[in-house]
Chains A and B, each alone.
Chain A
């Protein structure tokens, strides 16, 4: 029985559940996804940085040609959302695309992302929705 890698999901929980980014202790630049060395100043001294769970919508698209895991959830609204110092790509939920506008306030929500079939793990992660 083929199933998704559990370690692959598990080790990314800090990102998936909490949007844990990395910040360079030397120059202050924040990176998401996390980096190993600061691309700006080259320092290896990076610390955990919690991204805010609110931000603003930069741009979005309504994706109709979806991968297998999402066939029963199409269309997906894929958005680029600014959270504090970085932008993050992800799904926008609970929103009619006609009502979405670049610049509007968004909040991070915790949702199911992928369910590994009938017997596998339920995998969670962040998505975005308009802030009321």
Chain B
């Protein structure tokens, strides 16, 4: 089997891109990534998007992105796992190269949730929950995350002020990331005073919906960073039926298997981008990746340690670019490994991305190394 290397990367600043269609936005960032890779011949395009159909009424987004660049005859695949589409598309792309079928493929993540109103954003996001048994009754991902937050804080005897340390840290990192949507620092008072979204989660616990597009070129020939391990795992137990609510089962499994494939342990991880669609999920993801003991992350934040996760500012600062998130994470981890601006080179050669769909419905973990 062929090794898989990331040869080119590109991303745009996230936020509100009212003036760009999805396919155009994606095409532009794809072109940038191709340029970064030296314009290799592209065999296939893997498109990650959570909102293409529901917000912009577009199926087969890949074919239309290809049309904007004249990439005739390229194979196009649409990968959807809600806000975990990015990681899934990345892994699909990597598997395609690893199999030897394709020489170079692109993975492009694009979503424009700001094309619709905030209540419509919740409508779309709630289609990531069980449509018949959850969405129908008004359950949304933030409600599920809030239930987990309540139970986690109670179980480990934390106060909300402890959870608030996560968004404060995310804002600190995001403040130095010009690609992020929200770049202002946050004091703990800002978090505590912010309006309730679904208690105990407040505005600062929620990654704001943001438009974005990012792309990575994966080839069989040597590039900037190598895919050392990857795994995707679904948590097939419905939210209501889960045993424990202080663990992300899908993230834990995906991380374990991806680390095993890469031959690493959590100690080897120099940088990680995890899926903090909500602060509590970021905390749980970091623990699932072994960056802190179960139930222990907030205690270590409280004690003054900084977790080496989400140097981009995570979904908190980057915003929730939905399906594009996983691709952003890949670009950011590569830049953190090599020291490409705005990121300083991290101390180590291994980076991990954790991309998740819904509230622990499915996770993809990809291990990248120099």
Contacts and interface: CB of A to CB of B under 8 A. Distances in A.
Give yes or no for direct A-B contact (beta carbon below 8 Å).
Answer: yes
B134 interface: yes
A63 B136 contact: no
A61 B126 contact: no
Contact of B138 (A15, A59, A67, A87): A67
B329 to A, nearest CB: 24
Interface in B208-246: 236-241, 245
A65 B140 contact: yes
B120 interface: yes
B132 A33 contact: yes
Contacts, number: 105
A65 B122 contact: yes
Interface string B111-125: 000000011101100
Contacts of A33: 130, 132-133, 238
Contact of A125 (B123, B136, B142, B197): B136
A90 B245 CA distance: 17
Interface in B251-268: none
B120 A68 contact: yes
B118 A59 contact: no
A12 to B, nearest CB: 5
A69 interface: yes
B197 A78 contact: no
B69 interface: no
B95 to A, nearest CB: 27
A90 B240 CA distance: 10
B241 A31 contact: yes
Contacts of A64: 195-198
Interface string A72-103: 01001010100000111111000000000000
Contacts of A91: 137-138
A65 to B, nearest CB: 5
B314 to A, nearest CB: 19
Contact of A68 (B123, B143, B150): B123
Contacts of A125: 136-137
B56 interface: no
A61 B198 contact: yes
B343 to A, nearest CB: 32
Contacts of B151: 59
A114 B137 CA distance: 8
B150 A78 contact: no
A80 B150 CA distance: 12
A66 interface: yes
A12 B136 CA distance: 11
Nearest to B135: A67
B55 interface: no
Contacts of B195: 64
Interface of B: 118-120, 122-123, 126, 130, 132-140, 142-144, 146-147, 150-151, 195-201, 206, 236-241, 245
Given A16-B136, A32-B240, 9 more contacts: A8-B132, A12-B132, A15-B132, A31-B241, A32-B241, A39-B237, A61-B200, A76-B138, A78-B143
